[in-house]
Structure 1
Amino acid sequence: MLRLSVILMFIIYTFTSLKAQQNPVKYGIVGLTHSHVHWILGNLKTEAYEVVGIVEPNKALAERFAKQYKFPMELVYSSMDELFVQNQPQAVLAFGTVYEHLEVVEKCAPKGIHVMVEKPLAVSLAHAKKMEQWAKKHNIHLLTNYETTWYPTMQKTYDLLQSNAIGEIRKVIIRDGHKGPARINLDPEFFDWLTDPVQNGGGAITDFGCYGANLMTWFMQGKKPISVTAVTQQLQKENNPKVDDDATIVLSYNNCNAVLQPSWNWTIGRKDVEVYGYDGVIYADNGHHLRIRMSKGYDGFKEEKMELKTFEKPYHNPFYYFAAIIKNEVKLQPYYLSSLENNMVVMEILDAAIRSARSGKTVKLE
């Protein structure tokens, strides 16, 4: 009888565990002022996740999006506390200002609610350290979402580097940005805080500098640069009077360097990477097109072009991926693009870059 009871308990446990994995993860959305929220508003319920509540105190904004995406206003709450009382989300997606990321983690972590924020992780290194402490203390996942994480070309670049396809890294150039917030017709609620030095922590240096820092930390497997040197400019004073809109950041490592070029002054929007190795170069021109040039002689080369397919689920989309992490279907690797370890290094790099630009001096990292 005892053996039968044990077998029955095992069957019940296995069934319950499988059912829990099959159930969609319950998400709460906190904030609607970040335009990246449009990505999920068009897909509030899937087999992997379900949005059970949206926190947005700006009723007019909530009503505008409710009409656009045809979700009921009953889904909208005025505060995180109200959401937590009425529903019990397993995780929260933060789509407010970068400054508000800390408050989201402070509210969610003690309740065991996982958090994913839009890049960058925090408005400052001081905020990031507090967020890290809350996440570790309460054992929650704290992820940072970047658009480039879901680019097949970035994963292919990483794989090629790991296989030593172009030899040891010597130089990396990473360009990110667009024409500027005032010139690309952003939602007004997003524009208002994106160009505010308190709510965003800076201008282009933070908005797009984080992309390059994130990718380099991954490519270098978590290794920090020895030093950071940065120069910022304000090329559209009439549009961005409070913040920088163009930056150049140089990261120096033992055997290579990286030049990050975050800007709100690119003629066309871009997120591209060039990685120069001892024997060849990788050009990740966008999300799907990649070229490899192997050196021949002084200026000759042999080129291979690739057109890469979108990732399979759950690696194609931050919301599917986050759900898979929560359900233990996927293990988050150390220093991977979304990881807390990677993004703490990103915040150190951004902090050093801002200090370097202000002082006109190179900043060394400990």
Structure 2
Amino acid sequence: MSKIRVAVVGCGSISKFRHVPEYAANDNVELIAFVDPIIERAENMAVIHGGKAFATHLEMLAEMKPDAVSVCTPNNVHASISIDVANAGAHVLVEKPMAVTDEEAAAMIEAANKNSVKLMVGHNQRFMPPHVKAREILASGKLGKVLTFRTTFGHPGPESWSIDGRESWFFRKEEAIMGAMGDLGVHKSDLIRYLLADEVEEVAAFIGTVDKKDTDVDDNSSCLVRMKSGAIGTLVASWTYYKGEDNSTVLWCENGVMKIGTHPDDQVIVELRNGSIEKHKVGAIATNDKQEVSGVVDEFINSILENRTPAACGEEGRKSLNVILSMFESQATGRFVKPNN
């Protein structure tokens, strides 16, 4: 069959390290366009991968009809660009957080449904081999019910990751809207929902700017989470883990404990109350320093080829977004908040 013709909107680090290489490695994809307001970035990608460079997504859509589009832009325009793309009849893969309000997320889902296109959110944590293995172990029932948990995502901040370093949009509130919570916290709200196959019932949060200078976006959050099942735990997102990244999750269950991403070689460790220990070497969780294939692009392309709803679809992205929006509401009001799920 003919290849899926893909355009990439936004040519920063997430495109450079994840989306574009993964599309280029997929035999079912032809990259046809790159879009960035700094046109040289789009042109550089077009030189390497073929296709044409554009300064805006509207120019690209006026000239071309891609089958699918990755939206890898600042958070504040995820929704508007995704809706334009869906209305042009193309499938949408949008980076997380999918939007900055629930109303935007709902409008994106409506546009995708109206135009009969796929909408997927780049929640790569649910595709990481240690997390897939952990969910499988939980589903087996050997650990019993999850009682408490902690899930953490912290690194030194976007300075070393973003293509623009300290001048990145990540630090400009009008474009980012949210900081570490939108960058990292939403990954963990999605992960805990995925691992436990459960929804978040209620949250409380401290969110603030603890150490980053000259920015209004949050660099740290510590949040309490209660699931519908009754499990309680903590969710932490930080841009000030200056000594190095932590992307780990620990689940304390009726029959033992499961540690995910706490050991460099044994990515999933199960310690049962009867004294037995299982260690699973299943492949690493991707980090900014060590890129791994995310699984997101392949899932997106396969969902198109197989004409099925992608994992991390728009509805899933909306639920994970609502968890962190509720955390911001808790910080603002000093109250426990129930997500609008």
Name the TM-score class by shorter chain.
Answer: 0.7 to 0.9
Q: Distance in 2 between matches of 1:66 and 1:88?
A: 17
Q: Distance in 2 between matches of 1:261 and 1:295?
A: 27
Q: TM-score, normalised by structure 1?
A: 0.82
Q: How far apart are residue 64 of structure 1 and its match?
A: 5.1
Summarize deviations over 1:257-299 as a string: whole Å, max 9, x none: 1311111112211221111111111111169711101024xxx
* 1:196 and 2:175 matched: no
2:313 counterpart residue number: 339
1:270 counterpart residue number: 246
Please point out which of 356, 363, 366 is paired with 2:330: 356
Identity %: 19
Contact 2:8-2:35 within 8 A present in 1 as well = yes
**AA paired with 2:322?**
E
Aligned Cα root-mean-square deviation (Å): 2.5
Q: How far apart are residue 44 of structure 1 and its match?
A: 5.2
How has the CA–CA distance of structure 1 residues 63 and 140 changed in structure 2, closer, same or farther, with 3 Å as cutoff?
closer
Please point out which of 201, 211, 228 is paired with 2:203: 228
Please point out which of 244, 248, 257 is paired with 1:281: 257
Contact 1:213-1:349 within 8 A present in 2 as well = yes
Contact 1:218-1:342 within 8 A present in 2 as well = no
Structure 2 residue matching 1:181: 3-state secondary structure: coil
Please point out which of 255, 264, 268 is paired with 2:230: 255
Contact 1:28-1:53 within 8 A present in 2 as well = yes
Contact 1:33-1:190 within 8 A present in 2 as well = no
Q: How far apart are residue 316 of structure 1 and its match?
A: 6.1
**AA paired with 1:28?**
A
Summarize deviations over 1:46-83 as a string: whole Å, max 9, x none: 4121111111221233345557xx345x6101222332
* 1:170 and 2:150 matched: no
2:17 counterpart residue number: 38
Contact 2:158-2:165 within 8 A present in 1 as well = no
Please point out which of 42, 47, 50 is paired with 2:27: 47
Contact 1:225-1:365 within 8 A present in 2 as well = yes
Matches within 5 A, 1:1-366: 19=1, 23-42=2-21, 45=24, 46-63=26-43, 65=45, 70-71=48-49, 75-182=52-159, 184=160, 186-188=162-164, 191-221=167-197, 223-238=198-213, 241-253=215-227, 254-266=229-241, 267-285=243-261, 289-296=267-274, 301-309=275-283, 317-328=295-306, 331-332=308-309, 336=311, 338-365=312-339
Q: How far apart are residue 317 of structure 1 and its match?
A: 2.6
Q: Distance in 1 between matches of 2:246 and 2:173?
A: 23
Contact 2:78-2:94 within 8 A present in 1 as well = yes
Summarize deviations over 1:24-58 as a string: whole Å, max 9, x none: 21111111135343324346544121111111221
Contact 1:33-1:97 within 8 A present in 2 as well = no
Structure 2 residue matching 1:76: 3-state secondary structure: strand
**AA paired with 1:26?**
R
How has the CA–CA distance of structure 1 residues 30 and 235 changed in structure 2, closer, same or farther, with 3 Å as cutoff?
same
Please identify, of 281-290 and 269-278, the stretch whose mean Cα deviation from structure 2 is larger.
Answer: 281-290
How has the CA–CA distance of structure 1 residues 353 and 219 changed in structure 2, closer, same or farther, with 3 Å as cutoff?
same
Contact 1:33-1:189 within 8 A present in 2 as well = no
Detail structure 1 runs of 4+ shifted over 4 Å in the superposition. 63-67
Unaligned segments of structure 1, at least 5 residues: 1-18
Contact 2:39-2:54 within 8 A present in 1 as well = no
Q: How far apart are residue 347 of structure 1 and its match?
A: 1.6
Unaligned segments of structure 2, at least 5 residues: 286-292
Q: Distance in 1 between matches of 2:73 and 2:13?
A: 5
Q: Distance in 1 between matches of 2:184 and 2:283?
A: 25
**AA paired with 1:354?**
F
Q: Distance in 1 between matches of 2:339 and 2:294?
A: 34
Contact 1:225-1:251 within 8 A present in 2 as well = yes
Summarize deviations over 1:81-107 as a string: whole Å, max 9, x none: 332343321110011111111122221
Structure 1 residue matching 2:273: 3-state secondary structure: strand
Structure 2 residue matching 1:208: 3-state secondary structure: helix
Summarize deviations over 1:116-163 as a string: whole Å, max 9, x none: 011111122222122122122222211011332331110011111111
Which structure's CA Rg is the greater one?
Answer: 1
Contact 2:43-2:52 within 8 A present in 1 as well = no
Contact 2:123-2:187 within 8 A present in 1 as well = yes
Q: Distance in 2 between matches of 1:211 and 1:43?
A: 20
Q: TM-score, normalised by structure 2?
A: 0.87
